[in-house]
A = this chain, B = another copy of it.
Amino acid sequence: MSQHSGSEAAATEERSGPKTERGRRTLRRLLDAAGEEFGTRGYHETAISNITQSAGVGLGTFYVYFKSKEEVFKALVADMGARTRHALSESVKDAPNRLEAERLGIQAYVEFVRSHKALYRIVMEAQFVAPEAYRAYYRTFSEAYRQQLAQASKRGEISDGNDDVRVWALMGASTFLGLKFGIWDDAADIGAVSEAAADLMINGLAPRAKKGDAS
């Protein structure tokens, strides 16, 4: 965790990160422990002492690395955003077209949620604990997504439409599917779910036109 982008780690500390190897190790332990604790007990039910105990360091050590409880939380949200984007862009990177990309994206997303339940919860709770971080998370997401749709639309792979609205609807759909089938019903068959979901996103609810149905 947190080794993805130096810039994020930097924002985590007052001025630049830890100077020594020992320091970097401790920081990583704290971030991992915080992710685990926040993710399972929730922000308000997690005490700093829970985190430091879980990390195996003294209570005071926490404040060597973070200004406040909220600050770690924000760092985790940003980290989760970077990871999710990475996982998604990987999963989609060699899709032949946008429709196929949607299918793959949904599947990858639900799988990702399922295998990162704790961090996923953190993102959701950010809506109330760190609203700005939450909005930033979805803003970044939606901007990239909208661009994808606009390009696909230009290539004729998808119909024209209000991409801003579409993006939010699609993100919402994925989010809820992640919650329902990634967290709550985590025994569900992800393949079937993403198949059905992709079908809905691609073809909609409307009845299929029958062959030779000119009307």
Q: Which residues of A contact B (CB under 8 A)?
A: 42-44, 98-99, 102, 124-125, 127-128, 135, 149, 156-159, 161-162, 165-166, 168-177, 179-181, 184, 192-193, 195-197, 199-209, 211-212, 214
Contact = CB atoms under 8 A, between A and B. Distances in A.
Contacts of A206: 99, 158-159, 202-204
Contact of A193 (B135, B165, B175, B193): B165
Report the copy number of this chain in the oligomer. Answer: 2
Given A44-B128, A168-B173, 9 more contacts: A125-B127, A159-B206, A161-B196, A161-B200, A165-B177, A168-B177, A169-B173, A172-B174, A173-B173
Nearest to A44: B44
9 contacts: A99-B205, A156-B207, A161-B196, A162-B193, A165-B197, A166-B200, A169-B200, A173-B173, A211-B214
A169 B169 CA distance: 9
